[in-house]
Chain A
Amino acid sequence: MQKVQDRDPVVLTTKETSAELLRELVAHLRQNRAQLREEWARLITEAKLLTVMTREEIFAEATSVYDNYVEALETGTLEALQAYSRNLSERIIPRGVQTDEVLGIVLLLRDVLARSLFARSRTDFDKLNRILDAYEPAANRIATTVAVGFVQERERTIREQQEAIRELSTPVLQVRERLLILPIIGVIDPQRARQLTEQLLRGIRTNRARVVVIDITGVAAMDSNVANHLVLTVEASRLLGATVIVTGLSPEIAQTLVNIGVDLTKMNTVGDLQGGIEEAERLLGYKVVPVEKAES
């Protein structure tokens, strides 16, 4: 008990002085707002950060970052800054701003402010020390918050996009009685390949398909795993009684497949989707003729 009472006043005084110093600091930063802000914006441009944004935009953002920064120093709470950095990230991520740029501008601001503190208290070294003691941890915390906010926002965007891709992934469409098409677009990873096969085999079952056209015009590249998986899919479909026609192999994919030696003898390939559907119709015994010809 005795000890605690002894210590408490000391802690309180340091806290008070530290808070006092911060208050003083904040007052100083408010006073020199215009000048420091301009200095910062100039440094950002000089360092070639945020190159996708115009001068005016940089200045506008710099102003609000500055105000939020000072406010976070004053109140010591980071919620408002967190919300702002999330909001900022949401706006600038689609424009291709990189993590190093965001971290760079926040660190620049930290340095600009620190310089101005140096300049202000250069005669009183002891006081400068104490001011920096108060300022540095707070400033570093702010820099971390902004950077983490940006990275989290970016990860969230990536996650959302991955989910969207997965959902869009693999439509199995019936174009005629007993004829399915499966257009594949984008990158095929092992998980997607598995999902694709499952959906196709189920689709063959439910639509009682006899011919399936798999169109891979939209697939840019293919490795041996995916190619082998495709061959397995073709064979599994045959076991269900459906013939598979693969269409739209790009020159690159054709070369890769031959180079890596995938056995394609069992795969029925046609140049493009139109050709594939025509071939499928032939297999199913359909014949498409112009109306006039059919009537005459």
Chain B
Amino acid sequence: MEVPILKQGSYLIGSVQSALTDADLRQLRDVLVAKVGRFRSLGVIVDVTAMDVMDSFAARTLSDIAQMVRLRGAQMVIVGIQPEVAFSMVQLGLTLEGVATALDLEEGLSLLDMTTKNRGRNDLARLR
């Protein structure tokens, strides 16, 4: 299932609705990396609340996306990892090194607000 991507001010929000196949993940990666440039976004949030498993491919793709998005000039936050998922991930060694995480969408937004607030464009983008 394709992941819907919403634009919210200067942020993009990818909201995962169900378990993702490898193809879905690749598609999410391509779309996000493209849209960050098109919308001149400062931040990207991927909400994985609905995922009840996270395999190594998913974890690697997510951290790849984070690196790519950063190279395109935006911050990425992964939000909504479930407690059980989090623990099985670290047991498999999938610690999403270098990727920001937050409890849920709200937290993720406030984290992005904090990390991007010195970048001026943010407030203007919000007004628009």
Contacts and interface: CB of A to CB of B under 8 A. Distances in A.
A238 interface: yes
Interface of B: 78-79, 81, 83-87, 89-91, 95-96, 101-104, 107-108, 111
B103 A202 contact: no
A157 B78 CA distance: 49
A239 B103 CA distance: 8
A6 B90 CA distance: 79
Contacts of B103: 204-205, 208-210, 240-242
Contacts of B107: 208, 210, 241
B101 A205 contact: no
B65 to A, nearest CB: 16
A229 to B, nearest CB: 10
A238 B101 contact: yes
A218 to B, nearest CB: 24
Most chain B beta-carbon neighbours within 10 Å: one of A205, A235, A241? A241
Given A202-B83, A240-B101, 10 more contacts: A198-B87, A201-B86, A204-B83, A235-B90, A236-B87, A239-B86, A239-B89, A239-B90, A240-B86, A241-B104
Contacts of B86: 201, 236-237, 239-240
A63 interface: no
A205 B91 CA distance: 19
A212 to B, nearest CB: 12
Contacts of B87: 197-198, 201, 232-233, 236
Contacts of A208: 103-104, 107
